[in-house]
Structure 1
Amino acid sequence: MNKSITKLFFFLLLGCLFGCTTNKQIDLIVYNAKVYTVDSAFTTIEAFAVNNGVFIETGSSQDLLNKYEAKEKIDAEGKYIYPGFYDAHGHFFMLAEAMDEVNLVGAASYNEILDRLRTFIAANPDKKWIVGNGWDQNLWEDKNFPVKDSLDKYFPDLPIYLTRIDYHAALASGKALEIASLDSAYFVDGGLISVNEEGLPDGILVDNAMQLVSKHIPKNQNSALLKMLRRAQDSLVSVGLTSIVDAGLNESQIDALKVFYNEDSLQIRDYAMVMATPESVKEFLRTGTFESDRLTVRSFKLMADGALGSRGACLIHAYHDAPTNGFLLKSPKDFDDLIQRLARSNFQVNTHAIGDSANRIILDSYGKYLKDGKERRWRIEHAQVIQPNDFHKFKDFQIIPSVQPTHATSDMYWAGERLGEERLKTSYAYKQLLDQYGLLALGSDFPVEHYNPLYGFHAAVARVDKNGFPNGGFQMENAISREQALRGMTIWAAYSCFQERKRGSIEKGKDADFVILEEDIMTAKNETLRDIKTLRTVIAGETVFKR
């Protein structure tokens, strides 16, 4: 063999050693799984590859393991993988704050509330204000709203402020009313100061009246706020949530989020709605939308009415169990003027509307000014009570229904008392809304409901509570399929936030957000769905929770 041939052979050998056997270096391969991609064909695969925070390829385990050399490999051991769950309507700050407050959820009587207050106060003797959340008089034998008399008797020197489960009513103690200089009742537009037999405030404040007291509660500084948000984030990612919609923030909260995300102090993706006030509308229309990798600000949240449980939802006809129609939180003209103004901007508009009157007014105003509804993707949040001849407006005006399935299974015990049999039939009508628009954005409304997305999944497909009640399901004609429910909490939720090209499914080029569950929610029995555990949650290829 001459020298030139020997030299050529040597270089070919080196090429094979350092080229032929060296696979492309990437960050992560996940294999040996059943992966629901939630792409347009609802494809299932067994493996995918991730690099620089995005999915770069999907396919078979062997092909990807042969093709790539990964810094990390996850053998899913046959477990079940889904796109990261996306809660299309929640309240991040409210959840964070609730974790430091008196938990009144599930209290079976006013006496139990007093007991929980005593326990909390004993454990937190330095608290200047006592704030609690979650009471629901519908769970009590006496279903009347509580009044402040017992608070004043047992805690005369403490300002106490306790919000109802829906955050649309509150009970304030006499000391709290004193600090707010609220010693007489007067008309509050879009709200109510409840009174006793002497015509004096009895402690119950509804909707817009709540801020008369709540504005006096001391606010947390940023260092404490970040700690609270990170604790709430830990809870959210532990159940597979990788993205949330923050449904209604003030300017200071959004400013805080910008700081936290800029410092990489938070990981969960946040689509923040600006609570529409005259000041915030003026400011954000001036500064424009904002988008970073994890934080997006491009929508306004309007509040049309209150909640059904506190009889603040605005109905066309009176409540079945009370001589009131509820109320709007602004006049129809104020809503119309604001919607007209926002239609001329590039901001999305998302409006809380519970009652059939509120839904009709907002839908009609949307339809008047939206000429490109499908592109604008405006939303109705909750859409709980709809008149039969108003459903078509979701299709005609291209308005996205953003609904929370656990509201149906929480309210079903007493909703008929509020609405009567006829109106109940077109309430919580998720399948009917789906048929109109073609998709649903699914959320939980945490902390009003639990943040676990599988609770919403279960409620959407089975229409029963955690105990399987009622037998056969609540208004099953409005149940949706498991595929539809999974789409609603992944790709459809992303679509409702203009993010379907970046996340919501496991496809090449999208953010590598995914969740591994111990059981398959597409085939598990209904009665086991709520108990299925999250094994791992991953955001941008990074594990943020592992059981």
Structure 2
Amino acid sequence: MIRFICLALTLYSGISMAQFTLIHNVNGYTPTRSGDIKTFATLVIKDGKVVRIGNKQLAAQYPKASKFDGQGMTLLPGLVDAHGHIIGLGNNLSRLDIREANSVEQVGQQLKVFSAQNPKGWILGRGWDQTRWTPNRFPTAADLDKFVKDRPVVLTRVDGHAIWVNSMAMSLAGIDAQTASPAGGEILRHTSGNPTGIFIDKAENLVKKHIPPTSTAHLNQALNKAGEHLLSLGITSAHDAGIDKQTWKLYQSRSQSQTLPLRIYAMLSAADPQLDSMLKAGVYKDKRDMLSIRSVKIYADGALGSRGAALLKDYKDRQGYRGLMLEQPQHLEQLIALAVKHGFSAHTHAIGDRANRLVLDSYESVFKTIGGKLLRNRIEHAQIVEPDDIPRFKTLDIIPSMQPVHATSDMHMAEQRLTDEQLKGAYAWQTFLQQGSKVAAGSDFPVELANPFHGLHAAITRMNAQHHPQQGWRNHERLTRTQALQAFTLDAAYAAFQEFKLGSLEQGKWADFILLDKDYFKVPEQEIRDIQVKQTWIAGQLRYSHD
């Protein structure tokens, strides 16, 4: 039986916050700021924070404490996902999910069923990936029209950097052969010049701006759904990579009413027309560390799967084409400078090697002119980096915020898109660590599944769910179990200025922890992916239980 405990923090349980709480009979591990792993059998909590960890004899020193028997389960700090999209995840849980579809026909059949079950309005979905299909080609509006033609359909690619729409959606948006591709975007066309139904990066908004706005009630529902899902996976804190004004208001309201389902570090979306007003409102941080808003998410290029990642050299499978910069260097600098001037960190999406270089150049220029180097600025993804640019992350104090599952999801597609030379600095986690950079790990949910044990498995093995390739893809970049756990805990917390509050079970920090069905440090590598979370606790309070 699964139980979620989602009441306000002030109402949680009969345990008085003035009492000690004792979690005993556990197989505990925690990373520490000194870099080693400490083991323990007993965890002592008071007022939601860690008092001590120690051996089983420690329990005798707290005879009046409220006791919880961990039944020998493995205990780890709550996991931190340093890059996800919370409302997007919540939406996905109630929209058409086509992640597992292996052909246009399968998408169509799922669409037909979903349309019958949801008979009104626009049909929205996500998850298609044409690189997994045979033939491997972008689909068209006509492919969707065969299944649904009397309602607008908008299906987002798995990476979020392209949409596939039917003819009705294009008609309602007034899009035809004369519609021009915007800067930083591309409308794919037939030889006749008519749009195919695929809109990449900034071209997406030509259609998406016509979708009816989301209600606050729907946003609340999406947040609750996402929170339940993340807690069930052992994620106690998530970094939300780009929120709009409506979500900004929602998060603050839920923070003030003490009803946020998990800890959130939110980045303001640089694409939101009301960015200035959010910046002028200043940094937001609540006293319980449930919500922190102190950074801006900037978008430099697209994604590799839709050939939107900006490269220094041509795509291997599309000669003469080098991807898309969503922002030109001058505007990138302006956005970074805007964030820094308001005391906000700049976290910039960059996937291709050209995008990474231009973003590094932009940070360097801003730091020289107005400062901001100490704001723990980040490059989100940092997937394909020219090897000579990797040391610049350390020199400029830029945190590589990376998602291990991207490497194992992308490996076959990446080899189709890029030459071996272009891949030399790809998904280079170990190289970054060896130069002294902190890697903040995440999943990029709902682009990937949110399960952090999939990410830990990918980081440690460089293998996919089928345990291929046998020795791991480009396995010199794999991480140790300790390094991987650190990336999903303390280093992710560091990337949010929270390493003295979260990420480990050291004295004085919030008692966020999870209980597991297997020992993360001792199970065979191939079983790490299958570890199940039995309980999730935040600030010493049980928030999820799978009995």
Shorter-chain TM band: over 0.9
Aligned with residue 50 of structure 2, among 40, 46, 55: 55
Paired with 2:230 and 2:491, the residues of 1 have a C-alpha distance of 19
* Equivalence map 1:91-106=2 (5 Å): 91-106=85-100
Counting only pairs closer than 5 Å after superposition, residues 525-536 of structure 1 correspond to structure 2 as: 525-536=524-535
Structure 1 residue 331: Cα displacement: 1.3
- Note if contact 2:282-2:342 (Cα within 8 Å) is conserved in structure 1: no
Equivalent position of 2:297 in the other structure: 301
For 1:128 and 1:284, locate their aligned partners in 2 and report how far apart those are by CA, in whole Å: 31
Once the two structures are overlaid, the 10-residue window that deviates more, 210-219 or 292-301, is: 210-219
Contact 1:29/1:65 (<8 A) preserved: no
**1:408 counterpart = 2:402:** no
CA contact (8 A) 2:245 2:272 kept: no
Counterpart-to-counterpart distance in 1, 2:92 and 2:60:
45
Deviation at 1:400, TM superposition (A): 0.5
CA deviations over 1:221-241 (Å, ceiling 9, x no partner): 222321222122111001110
Query: Cα deviations across residues 22-65 of structure 1 (Å, max 9, x unaligned)?
Result: xx962411011121121123211111111111112222233234
Q: Which amino acid aligns with 1:251?
A: K
| Residues 49-448 of structure 1: pairs in structure 2 closer than 5 A | 49-71=44-66, 73-125=67-119, 127-184=120-177, 185-277=179-271, 279-292=273-286, 293=288, 294-323=290-319, 324-370=321-367, 375-448=374-447
Preserved CA contact (<8 Å) 2:123 2:154: yes
1:397 is aligned with what amino acid?
L
Instruction: Give the Cα–Cα distance (whole angstroms) in 2 for the partners of residues 404 and 175 of structure 1.
Output: 36
- Measured in 2, the distance between the counterparts of 1:523 and 1:304 equals 41
Q: CA deviation at 1:287?
A: 1.3
Task: Tell me how far 1:421 sits from its aligned partner.
Answer: 1.6
Structure-2 separation of matches of 1:87 and 1:427? 21
- AA paired with 2:330? K
SS in structure 1 of the partner of residue 212 of structure 2: coil
Whole-angstrom distance in 2 between the partners of 1:518 and 1:97: 29
**In 1, distance between residues paired with 2:51 and 2:534?**
23
Residue pair 2:232, 2:544 contacting (<8 A) in 1 also: yes
Aligned to 2:37: 42
AA in 1 matched with 2:58? D
Instruction: Indicate if the aligned counterparts of 2:333 and 2:365 stay in contact, CA closer than 8 A.
Output: no
Q: Structure 1 length normalisation: TM-score?
A: 0.93
Tell me the secondary structure at the aligned position of residue 131 of structure 1.
strand
Classify 1:272/1:278 alpha carbon distance in 2 versus 1 (closer, same or farther; 3 Å): closer
Other structure's SS at 2:217 match: helix
Q: Is the 8 A contact 1:29 1:47 kept in 2?
A: yes
Letter in 2 for 1:255: K
1:68/1:279 CA distance change after superposition, 3 Å: farther
Deviates more, 1:85-94 or 1:59-68: 59-68
What CA distance in whole angstroms lies between the structure 1 residues aligned with 2:418 and 2:274? 35
Deviations for 1:299-331, whole angstroms, at most 9, x for unmatched residues? 000000000000000001110000310010011
Q: Which amino acid letter does the alignment assign opposite residue 473 of structure 1?
A: G
Q: Which runs of 5+ in 1 are unaligned?
A: 1-23
2:495 maps to a residue whose letter is S
How far the C-alpha of 1:267 sits from its partner, in A, is 2.3
Deviation readout 1:267-293 (Å, 9 max, x if unpaired): 200000000137444213311110112
Secondary structure class of the residue paired with 1:154: coil
Which secondary structure does the structure 2 equivalent of 1:424 belong to?
coil
| Number of corresponding residues | 522
Local SS of the residue matching 1:213? helix
Mapped partners of 2:228, 2:391: distance in 1: 40
Q: TM-score, normalised to structure 2's length? A: 0.93
In the aligned structure 2, how far is the partner of 1:486 from the partner of 1:394? Answer: 21
Task: Tell me by how many angstroms 1:135 deviates.
Answer: 0.3
Letter in 2 for 1:310: S
SS in 2 for 1:510: coil
Question: For 2:279 and 2:544, how far apart are their aligned partners in 1?
Answer: 37
* Structure 2 SS opposite 1:310: coil
Structure 2 CA distance for aligned equivalents of residues 241 and 359 of structure 1: 28
- The answer to whether the 8 A contact 2:298-2:335 is kept is no
The CA deviation string for residues 400-424 of structure 1, in whole angstroms up to 9 with x for no partner, is: 0000000000001121110112112
Alpha-carbon distance between aligned partners in 2 of 1:280 and 1:46, rounded to the nearest angstrom: 50
**In 2, Cα distance between the equivalents of 1:426 and 1:156?**
45
| SS at structure 1 position matched to 2:19 | strand
1:159 shift after superposition? 0.1
Percent of aligned pairs sharing the same letter: 39
Deviation, structure 1 residue 217: 1.6
Partner of 1:19: none
Alignment partner of 2:241: what SS? strand
CA distance in 2, matches of 1:383, 1:413: 18
- Greater shift, 80-89 or 423-432, is seen at 423-432
60 and 148 in structure 1: CA distance in 2 versus 1, 3 angstrom threshold: same
Q: What amino acid maps onto 2:386 in structure 1?
A: Q
**Residue 244 of structure 2 contacts residue 272 of structure 2 at CA under 8 Å; is this kept in 1?**
no
Larger Rg: 1
The CA deviation at 1:373 is 6.4
In 1, Cα distance between the equivalents of 2:109 and 2:271? 38
Aligned residue type for 1:494: A
Measured at CA, do residues 482 and 45 of structure 1 come closer, stay the same or move farther in structure 2, by a change above 3 Å? same
- 1:506 and 1:512 in contact (8 A); partners too: yes
8 Å CA contact 1:106–1:139 kept in 2: the answer is no
Contiguous gaps of at least 5 residues in structure 2: 1-16
Pairwise CA distance, 1:542: 0.9
- CA change 1:45–1:156 in 2 (3 A) is same
2:7 is matched with which residue?
A: none
Secondary structure of residue in 2 paired with 1:393 = helix
Question: Contact 1:399 / 1:437 at 8 angstroms: preserved in 2?
Answer: no
Q: What is the rounded CA distance, in whole Å, between the counterparts of 2:64 and 2:18 in structure 1?
A: 5
How much does 1:504 deviate?
Answer: 0.6
Is the CA contact (8 Å cut-off) linking 1:425 and 1:475 kept in structure 2?
Answer: no
Return the alpha-carbon distance in structure 2 between the equivalents of residues 138 and 120 of structure 1: 24
Deviation at 1:341, TM superposition (A): 3.3
TM-fit CA distance, 1:194: 1.3
Please give the alpha-carbon distance, in whole angstroms, between the structure 2 residues aligned to 1:291 and 1:268: 14
**Is this contact kept in 2: 1:25–1:69, CA < 8 A?**
no
Q: Displacement of 1:436 after TM fit? A: 2.7
